[in-house]
Amino acid sequence: MKIIAIETSCDETGIALLEVSGTARAPRVRVIENLVTTQIPIHRPFGGVVPNLAKREHLKNLPILFGRLLKKHPQLKFNLITVTVGPGLEPALWTGITFAQSLAKEYGVPLIGANHLEGHLYSFLLSKQKTVSFPAIALIVSGGHTILLKLDSFTKWKRLGETRDDAAGEAFDKVARLLDLPYPGGPEIERLARAGNPHAIAFPRPMLHDKNYDFSFSGLKTSVLYYVRDHPFSKNKTAASVASATRAAKADIAASFQEAALDVLVQKTIRAVREFGARSVMLSGGVAANKALRVRLARETKKIGCAFLVPNFKYNLDNGAMIGVAGYMSYLRKKRYKIEARGDMEI
């Protein structure tokens, strides 16, 4: 069966066409098209996503993307439409929902809602992977969420923990702002960190040793703020050396911050693997695009004989294809979300 999937929860407009088959125990997915338009340049001057600008851009981009899809597939036929209903920015979510509703009417096909976080969770299915062994631990790390799940099957899971304040991606974005780097901060911090010493500054590892699976990143961000305040970049430097000294100092801060954040993410995930005897780890969400995080989790899971599943880079950031998989899984499970925007929806 063929599915059209629509994603507009944040600053990416996505429309995908998927061919899906199989059961909820063994789903099979083939991505035919995954069209994504990013709004990053629009939001960048504001240092973050502006909901009403996002809404305006989605309204403009949805018909453009669908037009592109029709151009590539003039005889387009599909059996189901799925759209993100939450979590996300409500004005942005409504644009996708309204567009999906009119498509469903025009093509006479059913429409079902999809959970954006389930989209991230299942995104590894979009890349070629081995079969999944359960129990599994899933780490979802995005701009809005940091969640650790224990899965007994593709469709049965328990939340082990989540962030109590900032999400991991949010912390990357905020620290980037402290270092005068543009939005979104994650890729900028990662790039700068490569030139720095991860052990230069001993930033805290919040909640690392707490006997639970929750996270906290706001204190880490505040430590970076104090460090930057107490160590002005251009102090005691001649004008000529300011630029390179500043860059070196910022690189050390970026590398040390990233090391602290990854220490907590990786160590808590591995602790969960050990406690629950997990046989696989799935990593997803925008922060999963971080190569250092992928490499470390791959290494640590390998050490203990656990499979590591992560989607290709193109499926880490928000996209329509992952929503197609989430929608298909909901369809198989007969799980029906109300077709209305729910900004604070949980997994």
Question: Under the rule (CB under 6 A), what is the footprint of ligand KG4?
Answer: 10, 142-144, 169-170, 172-173, 184-187, 190, 285-287, 289-290, 317-318
311 binds, among ligand KG4, Zn ion, none (CB under 5 to 8 A by kind): none
Binding status of residue 142 toward Zn ion by CB under 5 A: yes
Query: How many positions of this chain bind Zn ion (CB under 5 A)?
Result: 2
Give the strands of the sheet with 111-115, arranged side by side. 27-38, 12-22, 2-7, 80-86, 111-115
7 binds, among ligand KG4, Zn ion, none (CB under 5 to 8 A by kind): none
Q: Smaller CB distance to Zn ion: residue 72 or 159? A: 159
Q: Smaller CB distance to ligand KG4: residue 34 or 142? A: 142
- Residue 294 CB, shortest distance to ligand KG4, in Å, is 9
- Residue 143 CB, shortest distance to ligand KG4, in Å, is 3
Of 68-76, 137-145, 249-257, 333-341: span binding Zn ion (CB under 5 A): 137-145
- Residue 244 CB, shortest distance to ligand KG4, in Å, is 24
- Residue 230 CB, shortest distance to ligand KG4, in Å, is 25
Q: How far is Cα 211 from Cα 12, in angstroms, rounded to an integer?
A: 36
| Strand 280-284 to 307-309 pairing | parallel
Q: Smaller CB distance to ligand KG4: residue 18 or 192? A: 192
Q: Smaller CB distance to Zn ion: residue 84 or 256? A: 84
Residue 165, judged by CB atoms within 10 A of its CB (0-12, 13-18, 19+), counts as: middle
Q: How far is Cα 290 from Cα 271, in angstroms, rounded to an integer?
A: 21
- ∠ CA 142-144-150, nearest 5°, is 60
138 binds, among ligand KG4, Zn ion, none (CB under 5 to 8 A by kind): none
Q: How far is Cα 210 from Cα 277, in angstroms, rounded to an integer?
A: 20
- Residue 84 CB, shortest distance to ligand KG4, in Å, is 10
Q: Smaller CB distance to ligand KG4: residue 39 or 330? A: 39
181 binds, among Zn ion, ligand KG4, none (CB under 5 to 8 A by kind): none
324 binds, among Zn ion, ligand KG4, none (CB under 5 to 8 A by kind): none
Question: Of 12, 167, 14, 45, which Cα lies nearest the Cα of 4?
Answer: 14
Instruction: List the beta bridge partners of residue 139.
Output: 148, 283
Q: Smaller CB distance to Zn ion: residue 55 or 250? A: 55
How many C-beta atoms lie closer than 10 Å to residue 315's C-beta?
25
187 binds, among ligand KG4, Zn ion, none (CB under 5 to 8 A by kind): ligand KG4
- Residue 136 CB, shortest distance to ligand KG4, in Å, is 20
Residues 308-337 that bind Zn ion (CB under 5 A): 318
Q: Smaller CB distance to ligand KG4: residue 115 or 290? A: 290
Binding status of residue 11 toward Zn ion by CB under 5 A: no
- Residue 237 CB, shortest distance to ligand KG4, in Å, is 29
Residue 292 dihedral angles phi and psi, to the nearest 5°: -60, -40
Q: How far is CA 312 from CA 127, 182, 285, 306, in A?
A: 6, 24, 11, 19
Q: Smaller CB distance to ligand KG4: residue 151 or 167? A: 167
Which residues sit at the interface with Zn ion, rule CB under 5 A?
142, 318
